[in-house]
Amino acid sequence: MFRTYRADLHIHTCLSPCAELDMTPARVVSRAIEEGLDIIAITDHNTAENIPSAIKANGEITVIPGMELTTVEEVHILALFPDMESVMRLQEIAYNDLPLTGNKRILYEQVVVNEEDEVIRFNDRVLMDATGLGVKEAINIIHDIGGITVACHIDREAFSILTQLGFIHDSLKFDALEISFRTERQRALKMFGIYDRYPWITSSDAHHVSDIGRAATEFIMKDASFEEIVLALSGKEGREVRF
Amino acid sequence: MKLKEIAEILSLRPLTPAVGHEREVSGAYVGDLLSDVMANAGEGNIWITLQTHVNIVAVAVFKNLSAIVIVNGRMPDADTMDKAVSEDIPILLTGKSAFETAGKLYQILNVQNLQG
């Protein structure tokens, strides 16, 4: 049977340099449940190390392993995966390009936390840096690993494909575009209508606990799984995406 | 050359007047990709950019830059300003382009080196 699932597919944890320290995996999950979400994706910048704790901490909702990857052009791409194993493959590729912070003081704490909110370690890569992957190459690699790709916050001034590259070329096989919580559907249609060949989603891009669920996408599908999300984004077999 | 002298000659508008204007400037770097600046800017450089995102402050701290000059009349948001003040990174503004700003700065610093 089909039903409507609310999904917030772009959420950071305290591992992301720019997110608040109280964004522990367990806290993110419990807040998402309070907000009535059925599905969340954990998408830290160029890293996946806090996802296992979010999956372990989880009682009632689906946690999709993901990553917000920075391409060489400094475009942010959301990568979503069916399992931990595939997201770790992308992390390995990303880490190859990211320098170590060394002993340099950097502004941000990047904290790996367990499901009990205890600090396990600090991540020592410069996660705010860009990887060496071009947009097209990144999309291909993510697809090869078994994931899907979303162009992040195309309505924003920073790190979006439109600010970095000017337009979205037909050859880019994004599975969806993300409109940030800042832009309502009607306005988004006026601004980005030429890109309606892609499905659109909206998400919170949460960096603070209170951000979680401030925007969510409705998926009409059979269950709260990654595979169903893939079907819904391609509009197959009666599934739908509503933003 | 000190940052405050450069600011005066180029008519740069200090956004964070309380921060770092006695600093010595070693040179400059122009770039709008944060990763490029992280890879190539030199210690003590002024960074000329049109980026206003809060991460510019992190890059400046990471690379020990002397200041950030934001061009084209762009204005950083409150986040970026607060971070700059708390991290002791001077931000200066100009309505001029990166080309003009870099060209003038190059001349000033070069004349100084020749007299050096």
Task: Tell me which of A18, A72, A74, A156 to substitute to probe the interface with B (most B C-beta atoms closer than 10 Å).
Answer: A74
> Count of A–B CB contacts within 8 Å?
37
CB within 8 Å: A130 and B33: yes
- Of A103-112, B1-10, B34-43, B51-60, minimum mean pLDDT range: A103-112
The answer to whether the CB atoms of A18 and B38 lie below 8 A apart is no
Q: Give the C-alpha separation, A141 to A148, whole Å.
A: 10
Entry pTM? 0.93
Q: Using CB atoms, which residue from A99, A128, A157 is nearest to B55?
A: A128
| Nearest beta carbon to residue B58 from set A128, A130, A157 | A128
Contact (Cβ atoms closer than 8 angstroms) between residue A23 and residue A207: yes
Q: Which residues of B touch A129 (CB under 8 A)?
A: 34-35, 38
Point out the residue among A70, A107, A129 whose CB comes nearest to the CB of B61. A107
Predicted confidence (pLDDT) per residue in A41-65, tens digit: 999 999 999 999 999 997 789 999 9
Query: Tell me: the pLDDT tens digits for A203-233?
Result: 999 999 999 999 999 999 999 999 999 999 9
Residue range B39-53, pLDDT digits in tens: 999 999 999 999 999
CA geometry: angle A93, A99, A109, nearest 5 deg: 105
Sheet arrangement for strand A176-180: A200-203, A176-180, A148-151, A76-80, A62-70, A39-42, A3-11, A217-221, A240-242
Residue-wise pLDDT tens digits, A136-177? 999 999 999 999 999 999 999 899 999 999 999 999 999 999
- pLDDT recorded at residue A101: 84
